[in-house]
Amino acid sequence: QVQLVESGGGVVQPGSSLRVSCAASGFTFSSYGMHWVRQAPGKGLEWVALIWSNGSKKYYGDSVKGRFTISRDNSKNMLNLQMNNLRAEDTAVYYCARWAEDNNWFDPWGQGTLVTVSS
Amino acid sequence: QTVVTQEPSFSVSPGGTVTLTCGLSSGSVSTNYYPSWYQQTPGQAPRTLIYNTKIRSSGVPDRFSGSILGNKAALTITGAQTDDESDYYCVLSMGSNWVFGGGTKLTVL
């Protein structure tokens, strides 16, 4: 079945970097765009970034533009999010989600990985 | 900056009908925004309910339906059940970015 599994979360200090990843299985990964969405503790969902299926285009939310980089390795069925210059407000559960471009929706979602930025 | 609006909370009695809405701070929601709806219970990942305004995701009960009502997207639950008590999020596609609403906390009692 289609499955997305995030990893790489942890506790880091403000100003530091961290990379989270999402391992995909059960579908042709190279045929789908992929999103990152985050959720701060007790808050709502916030879209973070999208990468096209072939990696040719990338889009970012305003709050992470210039600090975060989305990438993918289609040979390994892996999606990545490199997060630099982390701030306390980046503390969140980070979800990856497949982008169904035909109807422009997010499905499925991974279970998420928690990133905590704290001194 | 585009803001997507949702009711912060709503309450419905078991067996009742409730309509949650998804609007724009400026302008009207249309099918061009590909509104989709997601259900989330505490500690769990979101689950897709409705996409492209009104298409029900696989396995979603038919008591959930999507539509455009006036100038907003809408999610209607007909015959609410206690396990529908969750947070509900809509998201709108703006072309090269996506904006989630703040979510609606639905209580069924």
Residue A92 has pLDDT above 90, yes or no: yes
A110 Cβ contact list (under 8 Å, min separation 6): A4, A5, A6, A22, A95, A96, A97, B45
Mean pLDDT of A11-27: 98
CA–CA gap between residue A94 and residue A109 (Å, rounded) = 10
Residue keyed to tokens 């990696």: A55
- CB distance A83 to A115 below 8 Å: yes
Residue B69 has pLDDT above 90, yes or no: yes
B60 touches chain A (CB under 8 A): no
Alpha carbon B35 to its chain centroid, in Å, reads 8
Q: How big is the A-B interface in CB pairs under 8 Å?
A: 60
Element (H, E) at A24: strand A18-25
CA–CA gap between residue A32 and residue B103 (Å, rounded) = 27
User: Is residue B64 very low, low, confident or very high in pLDDT (cuts 50, 70, 90)?
Assistant: very high
Which of B80, B99, B108, B103 minimizes the C-alpha distance to B8?
Answer: B103
Residue A101 has pLDDT above 90, yes or no: no
Residue keyed to tokens 């509900």: B88
pLDDT at A69: 98
pLDDT at B30: 96
pLDDT at B65: 98
CB atoms within 10 A of CB B39: 21
Residue A38 has pLDDT above 90, yes or no: yes
pLDDT per position as a tens digit, B9-61: 999 999 999 999 999 999 999 999 999 999 999 999 999 999 999 999 999 99
CA–CA gap between residue A47 and residue A43 (Å, rounded) = 13
Preferred mutation among A3, A43, A45 to probe B, highest tally of B CBs within 10 A: A45
E-strand stretches of chain B? 4-6, 9-12, 17-24, 36-40, 47-51, 55-56, 64-69, 72-78, 87-93, 98-100, 104-108
pLDDT at A103: 86
Residues in A closer than 8 angstroms to B47, CB to CB, are: 109
pLDDT at A102: 86
pLDDT at A65: 97
User: Is residue A19 very low, low, confident or very high in pLDDT (cuts 50, 70, 90)?
Assistant: very high
Residues of A with CB under 8 A from a CB of B: 35, 37, 44-47, 50, 59-62, 95, 100, 103-112
- The amino acid present at A3, given as its one-letter code, is Q
